[in-house]
Structure 1
């Protein structure tokens, strides 16, 4: 009997092996053997952070979107500036108010202490934390598909082109369509604005010059956002329940109470008015569509197999 101590792959076999690795799919049980405690660790950290500061939930949900919508769900948004190789996405204007980086660092340390290697990617941690944040604030749950690897690059220029709070409906529809989303999925994902806050500089023009905003609401909001100054003053995107995930956001749009121009555009006599109306009346339908859209968001251009890496430090490449 001949015992082989090693296996020599022919060039053709090697090609097939690499193709099978690079085409790997995400799985809800990806860390079942290598780090079975990862879901519990992330949930515990997220729950603790939100108990201290409700805004942390919105921070993490927004980070997930800002990561996936640029060059895919690859944790490129976490990379610090390191010229000339890394032109950090954190420097892009839409990311200037992005928060939650320290919490991701803490979660990463906790996960790596439990599962040395490292074996869990920063991009997967973002995806899990976003789901747990929504659940912790009263929203729906879904199975987070895992197995992503982290990027070794960042794209600041692409981050500059994240959907704008000043955009009209046709531009918003195109922004999302370019990433493979339907108009309905765009409206569902916009429901994340039922939590979180916005700076005065992002909604001032809507208050003072908008034509589709309730006058009484505009006047009330102006008290915290003067016509001159106060750019960094913040206001809740959803006045009714700013720290509770739900469909109040859509109810506010129907009543012409949307704080951002881009939000109120979703109910402005356009092609998606009926979707907003449905979500405003049927929270279960909204929750189902939101969860499905978040899963789809997590499938944008993810890295697996031999692509990318599993970062030891989420802020820099290995």
Structure 2
């Protein structure tokens, strides 16, 4: 347990906040650690990160540990992109996917339904309301495309296609009301060969910011999607579009533009400078990313709004930094990322 350089840490807390048990206090899969008296997180069987045993409901179970980037060094950075072009979602021109390489296009059968964001090679973060069936959703009917410039065109060089092997919808999301609290879901993706995403100029991950990280009011961020040009529009835009929006203060969002019953602490608001740029139907689940120190962080998930690009009605987004623990618990990833691991492309 103490033989590798990777194991030299003194962390003893899991991603759920539980304290690790001493290694010599249990037997795990017929392995005894009787000579190991500490309770530090270790990785004896080479998993994606160190783990330990905890007691949950009178059972011994393993959990990944709360290891920060100081203990786990990434092989490749997230939040990087090859291009940097700003165009509009509402009324704008098309954008190259290299400027938003983390965007995912989610399909049900042959029909596009929502956007998403690649946060790790095997995981896409999106909106819960994209899956009205909740736990009863038939995930075999869904597929995810990365590196896609247009939803009605195929580029075999840029694109990567995946099946959905697991869907995790936030247990606090209520499908029976129009309340969009906890509008967040995770998709685990895998291709026909059992592989996850491969890093290219058109496919990269966005970073997850630290827990409850805040950016100042008026800070410029970006949204992207394949959604409709206007609410009630018959066709999706087909081509990827992106726009620049500014963060709206929580006070203004809850009291000036909406009410506290509509917008709560798990949401944030953003709007274009002249109320001309906004997300629309079909953009749901897509990214609101903000650049910090030349790195793109996922601060919001496109969730809802009143009409599209309507004056004094900013777009409303799921506040990602309220869900670090939830994301980590279900994926085994660190609570926030400064990098991601990719397989090497052959």
Which range, TM-score by smaller chain? 0.3 to 0.5
Whose helix proportion is higher, 1 or 2? 1
Which protein, 1 or 2, shows the higher relative CO under an 8 Å CA cutoff with sep ≥ 6? 1
